[in-house]
Chain A
Amino acid sequence: MTSLEVWIVIGTVSVAALVSRALFVAMPTRLRLGEGLVDVLDLLPAAAFAALVAPAVLVSDGSLELFSARMGAGCVAVLVARLTGNMAVTLVAGLVVIAALG
């Protein structure tokens, strides 16, 4: 990708991000979300993070790998996250497992 294209990406993503963030916080709160839209937005973080995590944990070089060090670290991280609710501990646990399993 050329430098110009990179800056186009940065520019558009930045504007969109700020608009998303500022739409309700910075703009007049007369804007009301329809209930249907609230339902959809409610599901967005879960769907987005899952879509990002799953391939990173389960896919290696294009092929599905269900029993890998990443899967092990991921499972441990999920467990620790459930048990502790602490982000730092979850991260450390996951990194320890993946460092140990190589």
Chain B
Amino acid sequence: MNPEKVDGVRAMLPVLIGVVPFALVTGAASVHQGLAVSEAVAFSLFAFSGAAQVTATQLMGEGASVPVVVATAVVINLRFLFYSAALAPLLASYGARTRLAAAYVMTDHAFALTERRATRDRASPGIGTFYLAAALTFWCTWQVCNFLGALVEGVLPSDTFLTFAVPLSFLALLVPTLISRARAVACLAAAAVAVLLRGAPTGSNILIAIVVGIAAGHALRDRRATAGRVEES
């Protein structure tokens, strides 16, 4: 068995402890907000994005319009562009179909594990296989648990503390990425705006918060770059 494959699965296994409740809650929440089980499964299968699914279904349940739901979900998922750009060189040597599959199964967790391996350990040319194995492990687990969550939604108490697993998962993903001041500023600005604009039309606070957060982080970078140039001259 290819050692990269084994490493990939092994690396993802502990992460699954967090993914299982997240997926269960995502499926259950989707049905709770009014989706049919088939729709919840389809969302998971085609969009394959927990953050977008949870947010979109919550907005749908709160009566947001289709454009707002779509725009929010799409913007949340734009982070995949960043992951895609970073992973592309690692997957360049693989065939087109494999790369398409690799794109489809891309998640924050698989990306984070692969990036860590590429920077910390000595990245081997087979790191693409590591990524695929990790991502597929996640994908299978996710699909099953999302489906189960959707199925048992009626049985699960809807206000169980387990629903907090969703924001907790986002927190667990967020904290390790705050490696630069610009990112920290973007994070704080987005958080502040999202909370301050909580009364705004459903979903728009998230959209605006992301844009403002990015602008704030970017502005900090510009200021520091300019200051650096002034100091040098």
The interface of chain A, by Cβ under 8 A from chain B, is 1, 3, 5-14, 16-18, 20-26, 29, 33, 38-59, 62, 64, 70, 73-74, 77-78, 81-82, 85-88, 90-92, 94-95, 98-99
Contacts and interface: CB of A to CB of B under 8 A. Distances in A.
B191 A33 contact: no
B176 A85 contact: yes
Given A21-B83, A46-B217, A73-B168, A13 B18 contact: no
A90 B18 contact: yes
Interface in B161-209: 161-162, 164-178, 182-184, 186-195, 198-199, 205-206, 209
B80 A3 contact: no
Contacts of B192: 54
B190 to A, nearest CB: 4
A46 to B, nearest CB: 4
Interface string B50-82: 011001100010010010011001111111111
Nearest to B192: A54
B8 to A, nearest CB: 16
A55 B106 contact: no
Interface residues of B, number: 93
B100 A22 contact: yes
B43 interface: yes
Contacts of B155: none
B170 A62 contact: no
A5 B166 CA distance: 25
A57 B78 CA distance: 23
B82 A44 contact: yes
Contacts of A49: 51, 170-171, 173-174, 177, 187
A24 to B, nearest CB: 4
Contacts of A1: 34, 60, 63, 66, 69
A47 B210 contact: yes
